[in-house]
Amino acid sequence: MKLYDTMAREMRELTAEDGENFRFYCCGPTVYGPAHIGNFRTFVLQDVFRRVLQLSGQSTQHVRNITDVDDKTIRDSQAAGKSLGEFTEAWTAKFRVDCDALNLLAPHDEPSAVEHIPQQIALIEQLMAKGHAYKSDDGSVYFKVTSFDQYGCLSHLDQRELRDGAGGAAVADDEYEKDAVADFALWKGRKQEDGDNFWLSPWGEGRPGWHLECSAMCKEYLGDTFDLHSGGVDLVFPHHENEIAQSEAASGETFARHWFHITHLMVDGGKMSKSLGNMYTLADLEERGFTANELRYVLISGHYRHPLNFTLQSMEDAKKALLRIGKAGGALRERAGGDADEPDQQIPRGHDFIYFKAAFESLLQDLNSPEALGRIFSELRELKADKMSAEDAQAALNDLEYILLALGLSLPEVEEDKQVEVPEDIRDLAEKRWQAKQAKAWAQSDALRDELLGKGWEIKDDKEGYQLCPRS
């Protein structure tokens, strides 16, 4: 499988360092409310990534953390009058329910920051001993950015900017303005507003800085070096840059061998935010009558390296597209005279595609999910279930199940009575009209459409192809 690497700025073949297991880490949710559909764009794409890797024959170890202590979780747990643990536990549970609904494979390990305080303290001690960190007057500990020559290697920060900016004001915030290079907090000295949320350390009471948890948990579960690290594009700087600095300064080894970042989801052409009232959750969409399967379809309908614009219309389109796949699957099933072999939802290691091979190839080339969807529809259009042998139909149905398994989509059940028998001559005419349209032979295409209308059949076009319906 090939994937674009943010650090190398080129496409790279993915390999497991140990030759056996592909070990990767995804920055997980901050559990202070329900995850929104933007978060799920990232988690769904990471899930498709894992499915494709496994279906290509690779075993994996997938680690995704839970951020259960930071400025926001503390602030909102206090506002809710709950302990931090009680508060974050409830939102973690909700996150898992949403993940199940969206058919996300559970990570092999799902560690939380609060469960790994000793590991984070040990990492700071190592950085202090090597001269990469210093204690400030308020009991906080900072990473000294100028002590790490490679700082900026992931986000490709301008070297001059680094020289001028580094060593300036130290920042205690977990997030700060992009490109504002500053020493960042590894440990935050206890403040009154933190309430009961503090731990003992060699530098006094306090809590870890946000960037540190991922470095500590990567080391704990994957070792100093592992195969791939992933997150939304907003994490490139400062979060991942800081993770690299902490981990590599401490270990002297390469941290992640590949960096995979997913571009943000936009809503109605703009940024998603609570104040604009356009921050959708899965529950919001379910209330409007949509399903998690449809949301998953929308989230994979754009390439991960491009922004994806979410609209409610895109959910309607997904509903139709899935219905079309369901109908095609139904026709194959009828011809085959039986169901597909149910693929193992745990994802088998390797699958040889006969049908939908081109779609799987798209996924192997930089996880091109929109192209894969396009190729599924092209192939479904070309397959004529009623002209296939029962064995071929069975094989096509099996492979359809497997390509949907790669994407994590479920084959929708289509009610039998909604399927309309289309006579062969009508289908041939419709196909000719589609070919004419594809060739931009507009006059011919219009004439064929009229001919079909004259015979009582209407054509409805959309992005993926056309549908034939009896004239109303």
Question: What is d(CA 459, CA 465) in angstroms, rounded to the nearest whole number?
Answer: 10
Q: Is 292 left (phi over 0), alpha (psi -120 to 50) or beta?
A: alpha
The pattern of x and - marking residues 11 through 30 that bind ligand AMP according to CB under 6 A reads ----------------x-xx
- Pick from 246, 225, 260, 301: which is nearest to 37 by CA? 301
Q: Please identify, among the stretches 129-137, 228-236, 319-327, 418-426, the one whose residues bind ligand AMP according to the rule CB under 6 A.
A: 228-236
**Any contact of residue 209 with ligand AMP (CB under 6 A)?**
no
The pattern of x and - marking residues 19 through 38 that bind Zn ion according to CB under 5 A reads --------x-----------
- Give which of ligand AMP, Zn ion, none residue 29 binds (C-beta under 5 to 8 Å, depending on kind): ligand AMP
Question: What is d(CA 293, CA 101) in angstroms, rounded to the nearest whole number?
Answer: 8
Other beta carbons less than 10 A from residue 386's beta carbon: 13
Place of tokens 């002297």: 252
**Any contact of residue 214 with Zn ion (CB under 5 A)?**
yes
The DSSP line for 254-270 is --BS-EEEEPPEEETTB
Report, in Å, the least distance between residue 219 CB and Zn ion: 13
Report, in Å, the least distance between residue 110 CB and ligand AMP: 14
Scan residues 85-144 and list those touching Zn ion (CB under 5 A). none
The pattern of x and - marking residues 62 through 91 that bind ligand AMP according to CB under 6 A reads -----x------------------------
Q: Give the total of residues touching ligand AMP (CB under 6 A).
A: 16
The pattern of x and - marking residues 296 through 335 that bind ligand AMP according to CB under 6 A reads ----------------------------------------
Which positions ≥6 away from 41 have C-beta within 8 Å?
A: 232, 262, 264, 265, 299, 308
Phi, psi of 226 (to 5 degrees): -140, 180
Exposure string over 409-431, b if 16+ CB within 10 A, otherwise e: bbbbebeeeeeeeeeeebeebbb
Task: Classify burial at 387, counting beta carbons within 10 Å of its beta carbon; exposed 0-12, middle 13-18, buried 19 or more.
Answer: exposed
Q: Which residue lies nearer to Zn ion by CB, 49 or 402?
A: 49
The pattern of x and - marking residues 25 through 54 that bind ligand AMP according to CB under 6 A reads --x-xx-------xx-xx------------
Phi, psi of 109 (to 5 degrees): -135, 140
Report, in Å, the least distance between residue 27 CB and Zn ion: 3
- Pick from 355, 442, 444, 456: which is nearest to 406 by CA? 355
Scan residues 234-273 and list those touching ligand AMP (CB under 6 A). 234-235, 262, 264-265, 272
Binding residue for ligand AMP, selected from 34, 209, 231, 374, defined by CB under 6 A: 231
Q: Is 29 left (phi over 0), alpha (psi -120 to 50) or beta?
A: beta
Report, in Å, the least distance between residue 393 CB and Zn ion: 46
Binding stretches for Zn ion (CB under 5 A): 27, 214
Binding stretches for ligand AMP (CB under 6 A): 27, 29-30, 38-39, 41-42, 67, 231-232, 234-235, 262, 264-265, 272
